[in-house]
Amino acid sequence: MTARDDNVAPGFIFLTPRTIYPGRTGPTILDKDGHVVWFHRQSFRLSAQNLRPQVYLGKPVLTWSLSPPLLREGEVLSRGATKHNTYDVIADQSYRIIKRVRAVGRGVITNGHDFVITRRNTALVLGSRAVPRRLKRYGGPKAGRIVDDLVQEIDIRTGRVLFSWSSAAHLPLSESMARFPKNGYWDPFHFNSVSQDSDGNLLVSARHTSTVYKISRRSGRILWKLGGKHSSFRMRRAARFYYQHDAVRQADGTITLFDNGATADDKSHERESQAKRLRLDMKRKTATLVTDFKHPSGRGLATSQGNASVLPNGDVFVGWGISPWFSEHAPDGRLLFGARFSSVWHHSYRAFKGAWSARPTTKPSLYARVTAGRVAAYVSWNGATDVANWRLLAGPDKSSLTEIGTSPWADFETKLVFDGAPAFVQVQGLDAAGTVLGASKVVKASQS
C-alpha cells in the first residue's frame, strides 16, 4: 500500500487476481485496509474475472465470469474455450451460485469481459465467435477468419435472448487499429464493456478500434462514435484515448473510461495509462476532458485490462489491469488510496469497491494450541463480512464452556491468545452490536 487517506469511501474491494503462470487464484474480497475477507479458489482449468456486487430480483448479489486461462495478453478466444466452460455467474449472500448466464448462438462463447444486471433483471453480456472473411486487403489470407463480438441482452430467468448485435455485421474492418496476427484469428474489434446509457440505449467499448459506440437498443443502429478513426465528436487532445476499457455514462452526464493508451503490440500513442472523465457537447459535437486519474506510482502503462468506477461519495476507484495496482481518487483526481499485488505476476482484469454483506453457510474454522498455561486460537470464517469480534469459549469438556476472552477481527485468520489451559474450545463471531453471527465446532485444544 502506497497511500491511505482517512477520507476514503467505505466498502469492500473486489478483485480477481490472475497470473500468466498456472496457479490457483480466484475471486477475492478485501476490506478497505487490504485484508482478505473472502477467497474462492478456482481450479487450474478456470480463470475468474470481473468480480463485483450487483442487484438481482431486488437483492444484493455477487457476479463474476469464468473461462479457461488466457495464454496471451489481449486474447478473447482462449484455447479450449467452449460454450460450456465460459459463463457468468450470480451468487447470493451466502456465496451460493444461483444462476449461470451464457451468451447464446451457434459457435458463440461468453467472453466474460463484462456482465451487467439491469433494473429489469436482464443481463447485458458479451459473446464472441469466429466467422469467415476475405482478408487479403487487410494483410491476411484471401479466405480468413475474424472474431465477431456480440452484444446480447439475456433474460436471466429463462436464458432467452432479447437483443443481439453483431460487430461483424455492423462495423467495417477498416475501423480496426489491431495488427493482423501471424497466425490464428484476427480480432479487429475486441468488445470489452457494455453499459446502459441514460436514455436506455447501449454504450459499447471496442478496444481495437479505440472507439466507444452508442447503439440503439431498438433498431441496432449506431447512433454515434466516440474516438477512433471516424469519431462523431471532435476530440480535444487531452480527451483522446486509445485501446480503452470500461466506458460508462455517469449520473452527471459525463462518461468515464480507462484509457490504456497502448497495447503490447502498439505503444506509439501514449506513454502512460489514465482513467478519464469526459464531457460530450452534443450540439457542438466536441469531447473534452473533465478530470484524469493518474497511476498511483506516478506513471504506469497498462497495456491491457483496467476500469474506472464512480463511488457513491463521488470518489473514483480505478483498477489498473495488467499493471498490478488498484487505487481510489478524490473527484479532482487526488490520490487517496493506492495498493498493488505483492507479485508482479499477479494482476486483476478489473477492480471494484462497494458495499457488501454476506454470511457463508459454513461454520467458522478453529484451531487451538495450549502452551505454558496460555491458549492460542486461530480462527477464520471465509466470506463473513460482518464479524467485528471473536469470542473464545473454553472448558475442561465439551459441555461446560465459558467465555475466556474477546478479540477484534484482525485479518482473514485472526490469532486469539488468552491465559488458561482448556481441553476444549469454541469460537463465536460477533457483529458490532455483540450479536452472535455464527459459532465454530467445539474442538480439542492441542497440548504442548
| Residue 348 sits in the same domain as residue 373 | no
Residue 309 covered by a domain: yes
Please compute, for residue 72, the number of CA atoms within 13 A of its CA located in the half-sphere on the CB side. 12
The pLDDT score that the predictor gives to residue 19 is 72
| Residue 24 sits in the same domain as residue 87 | yes
CA–CA distance, 216 with 359 (Å, rounded to integer): 41
Buried/exposed 255-267: b ≥16 CB within 10 Å, e otherwise? bbbbbbbbbeeee
| Residue 42 sits in the same domain as residue 166 | yes
Buried/exposed 339-365: b ≥16 CB within 10 Å, e otherwise? bbbeeeebbbbbbbbbebebbbeeebe
- CA nearest 219: which of 265, 273, 163, 180? 163
User: Binning pLDDT at 50, 70 and 90, where does residue 260 land?
Assistant: very high
Is pLDDT at 241 greater than 60 in this prediction?
A: yes
The pLDDT score that the predictor gives to residue 5 is 79
Residue 60 covered by a domain: yes
Read off the CATH number of the domain in which 43 is found: 2.120.10.80
Q: Taking a C-beta distance cutoff of 8 angstroms, is the pair 148, 140 a contact?
A: no
Which among 334, 354, 374 is the end of a domain?
Answer: 354
Residue 400 covered by a domain: yes
| Residue 184 sits in the same domain as residue 256 | yes
| Residue 92 sits in the same domain as residue 151 | yes
Residue 143 covered by a domain: yes
The pLDDT score that the predictor gives to residue 106 is 95
CA–CA distance, 70 with 47 (Å, rounded to integer): 8
User: Binning pLDDT at 50, 70 and 90, where does residue 112 land?
Assistant: very high
For residue 180, with 0-12 CB atoms within 10 Å meaning exposed, 13-18 middle and 19 or more buried, which class applies? middle
Read off the CATH number of the domain in which 428 is found: 2.60.40.10
Residue 209 covered by a domain: yes
User: Binning pLDDT at 50, 70 and 90, where does residue 1 land?
Assistant: low
The pLDDT score that the predictor gives to residue 23 is 62
Residue 360 covered by a domain: no
Is pLDDT at 2 greater than 70 in this prediction?
A: no
Tell me, yes or no, if the pTM score tops 0.85.
Answer: yes
The pLDDT score that the predictor gives to residue 286 is 98
The pLDDT score that the predictor gives to residue 78 is 61
Which among 354, 388, 404 is the end of a domain?
Answer: 354
| Residue 14 sits in the same domain as residue 102 | yes
Q: What is the pLDDT of residues 30-80, one digit of tens each?
A: 998 899 999 998 887 788 999 999 999 999 999 999 988 765 655 555 667
CA–CA distance, 163 with 123 (Å, rounded to integer): 10
Residue 141 identity (one-letter amino acid): P
DSSP bridge partners of 275: 258, 293
| Residue 193 sits in the same domain as residue 64 | yes
pLDDT > 90: what percent of the chain?
A: 85
| Residue 325 sits in the same domain as residue 412 | no
Q: Taking a C-beta distance cutoff of 8 angstroms, is the pair 86, 66 a contact?
A: yes
| Residue 58 sits in the same domain as residue 149 | yes
| Residue 52 sits in the same domain as residue 196 | yes
Is pLDDT at 184 greater than 90 in this prediction?
A: no
**176 contact partners, CB below 8 Å, separation of at least 6:** 138, 188, 189, 208, 209
Mean pLDDT of 199-210: 98
User: Binning pLDDT at 50, 70 and 90, where does residue 22 land?
Assistant: low
| Residue 155 sits in the same domain as residue 245 | yes
Phi and psi at residue 208, to the nearest 5°: -85, 0
Domain count for the chain: 2
Q: How far apart are the first and last CA of the chain?
A: 38
Q: Taking a C-beta distance cutoff of 8 angstroms, is the pair 144, 133 a contact?
A: yes
Which among 309, 330, 354 is the end of a domain?
Answer: 354
Cα 171 to Cα 247, 248, 290, 333, distances in angstroms: 18, 21, 29, 35
Average pLDDT score, the chain: 94
Residue 359 covered by a domain: no
Cα dihedral 40, 41, 43, 48 in deg (nearest 10) = 60
Is pLDDT at 240 greater than 70 in this prediction?
A: yes
Residue 306 covered by a domain: yes
Mean pLDDT of 255-260: 98
Mean pLDDT of 250-272: 96
Q: What is the pLDDT of residues 381-439, one digit of tens each?
A: 999 999 999 999 999 999 999 999 999 999 999 999 999 999 999 999 999 999 999 99
| Residue 403 sits in the same domain as residue 347 | no
**158 contact partners, CB below 8 Å, separation of at least 6:** none
Q: Which domain holds residue 410?
A: 365-447
